[in-house]
Amino acid sequence: MSSADTYKGVRVLELTTTIAGPYSAMILADLGAEVIKVERPGGGDDARSMPPHRITGAESESAVFHAVNGNKRSIVLDLKDPAGREAFLRLAETADVVVQSYRPGAADKLGLGWADVHGRNPRAVYCSVSAFGASGAAAGLPGYDPLIQAFTGMMSMTGQPGGAPVRVAPSLTDLTTGMWAAMAIMAALRRRDLTGVGEHVEATLVDSGYALLCHQIIGMYATGKTPGPLGSASPITAPYECFETDDGWVMIAAGNDGLFRRLCRALGVPELLVDERFAGSAARVRNREVLHEIIQACVGTFTTERCLSVLREAAIPVGPVHDLREAVDHPVAVDRGTVLEAEQAAGEPPALPMVRLPIDDPGTARGRPPRLGEHSEGVLRESGFSDEEIAKLLDITS
């Protein structure tokens, strides 16, 4: 059985924008669910307008939107109009899952909240995705990935000591919130198998941010010290950081005593093995700066290729610091099928590629992201709407 058949027959109504909510729905889509993306008239999902864009003739395609909306269908409904709102609720009657990312309380004001959907379809699982959740000290506050990175302390630990706070380049809290939302939905679907009733689950960016910092938080309680930035280094062992070669950079991860012994011998500094400053991981962490200087002096005499060869021959974990192009062109990424082809519509330019989710079967091709409203008429017709109703709804959104 293919992973793409796991949720075959499950219908998901996605009422989300940007990254976190769409990513959760795309995970379900890649597992075989039918995902119907409900978008507002005009611009649709905010991510459609986010740079960078690929411009092809008169077409403009957002890389952000493309990355998290594969394998979906798009329908446009004006949810502020009573007819559009009723159409959504009729679609919800046929859905197994509704996932929305409105600011807390906004879906309820529109008549599209948990109680509204549950009243029409008691079996539907309803997932709310937000920054801070609907209750507590920051209830309802808006938030985006960099705000959450800043709020949770993540930025204060990223970058070089003494430097300004630094944002982690990937949208970590957005993407992990999407993962948590998908897992919460999967768990709720399993519970529905047992109870016959759907439930309301939520995923928040702030919870995801704190979860990513789990060992830093526990480490702070263990030591009483608030961690700060360490550059590429780790607070748990050393040497476990980047070093500059004659023509680039390498990451060395000599994380235990055995690896440290092999590293010292490979670099020709066996005297470090009898130096009390470096006897054990804790001592090496305390004396990281002086240890870094010694190892840097050795590594700096090598080219990157030579350094990798010497250390790998000694069975020491080491790797080059790639730029993104080098990383995705590397044979490892090719072997893993990291970059996928997306389906191409007849007569159109080649579609942008997609990035394989780790749960996808290798070699899987993903359906391209939908154009705004591409499936409006088809979805409505399949769901039992009359020609007159369809014409009215399409007229409202045109």
Domain presence at residue 144? yes
Same domain (yes/no): 193, 277: no
For the stretch 341-356, pLDDT in tens is: 887 776 777 788 999 9
Nearest to 16 by CA among 178, 142, 151, 147: 178
Domain presence at residue 230? no
Same domain (yes/no): 95, 183: yes
Q: How far is CA 11 from CA 20, 79, 357, in A?
A: 19, 20, 20
In angstroms, the CA 286 to CA 321 distance is 25
Regions of the chain short of the pLDDT cut 70: 57-58, 346
Is 91:121 a contact under the CB 8 Å cutoff?
A: no
In this prediction, residue 58 carries a pLDDT of: 65
Q: Could you tell me the two tokens for 269?
A: 């500094």
In angstroms, the CA 364 to CA 71 distance is 12
Is 114:201 a contact under the CB 8 Å cutoff?
A: no
In this prediction, residue 57 carries a pLDDT of: 67
359-364: list long-range contacts, CB under 8 Å, 24+ apart: 359/3, 359/27, 359/30, 359/31, 360/3, 360/4, 360/30, 361/2, 361/3, 361/4, 362/336, 362/337, 363/337, 364/3, 364/4, 364/30, 364/337, 364/340
Q: Which domain holds residue 299?
A: 240-321
Q: How far is CA 93 from CA 27, 74, 86, 352, in A?
A: 22, 18, 11, 34
| Domain containing residue 360: CATH number | 3.40.50.10540
Same domain (yes/no): 307, 258: yes
Same domain (yes/no): 63, 183: yes
Told to judge if 275 belongs to the known catalytic residues of this protein, a careful annotator would answer no
Instruction: Tell me which amino acid residue 172 is.
Output: L
Same domain (yes/no): 57, 146: yes
| Domain containing residue 266: CATH number | 3.30.1540.10
- Residue whose structure tokens are 């369809």: 390
Alpha helices in 58-105 (DSSP H): 63-67, 82-92
In angstroms, the CA 231 to CA 157 distance is 8
Looking at residue 276, the DSSP 8-state letter turns out to be G
Same domain (yes/no): 43, 142: yes
For the stretch 96-106, pLDDT in tens is: 999 999 999 99
User: Cβ–Cβ contacts within 10 Å for residue 104, how many?
Assistant: 20
In angstroms, the CA 134 to CA 183 distance is 19
Same domain (yes/no): 283, 368: no
Q: What is the pTM of this model?
A: 0.94
Domain presence at residue 206? yes
Same domain (yes/no): 91, 186: yes
Same domain (yes/no): 315, 364: no
Three-state DSSP class for 232?
coil
In angstroms, the CA 143 to CA 151 distance is 10
Same domain (yes/no): 113, 159: yes
Domain presence at residue 103? yes
How many domains is the chain built from?
2
Same domain (yes/no): 192, 313: no
Catalytic residue, chosen from 30, 45, 174, 207, is 174
Strand partners, 241: 252
In this prediction, residue 157 carries a pLDDT of: 95
Same domain (yes/no): 58, 200: yes
